[in-house]
Amino acid sequence: MNIGFIGLGIMGRPMAGHLLTAGHRLAVLNRGSHPAEFAERGALVCGSAREIAEQSDVIISMVPDTPDVEAVLFGAAGVAEGLSAGKLVVDMSSIDPIATRNFAERIRALGCDYVDAPVSGGEVGARAASLTIMCGGEPEVFARARPLFELMGKYITHVGGVGDGQVAKVANQIVVALNIEAVAEAMVFAAKAGANPGKVREALLGGFASSRVLEVHGERMIKRTFEPGFRIGLHQKDLNLALSSARALGIALPNTATTQQLFSACVAMGGKAWDHSGLVKALEALAACEVGG
Residues 6+ apart with CB under 8 A from 149: 117, 133, 135, 156
- pLDDT tier at 31, thresholds 50, 70, 90: confident
User: Is the pLDDT higher at 280 or at 9?
Assistant: 280
Q: What is the pLDDT of residue 293?
A: 59
Which residues are catalytically annotated?
169
Q: Which of 66-75, 77-86, 120-129 has the lowest mean pLDDT?
A: 120-129
pTM: 0.90
CB 120 within 8 A of CB 134: yes
In the predicted structure, residue 33 carries a pLDDT above the cut 90: no
CB 120 within 8 A of CB 132: yes
Q: What value does the mean pLDDT take over residues 238-248?
A: 94
DSSP state of 162: T
The whole-angstrom separation of Cα 206 and Cα 70 is 45
- Angle at CA of residue 119, ends 87 and 64, nearest 5°: 80
DSSP readout, 71-101? HHHHSTT-HHHH--TT-EEEE-S---HHHHH
Phi, psi of 11 (to 5 degrees): -95, -40
Q: How much of the chain exceeds pLDDT 90, in percent? A: 93
Residues 6+ apart with CB under 8 A from 117: 90, 91, 92, 133, 134, 135, 136, 145, 149, 165
Q: What value does the mean pLDDT take over residues 212-231?
A: 94
Amino acid, single-letter form, for residue 277:
S
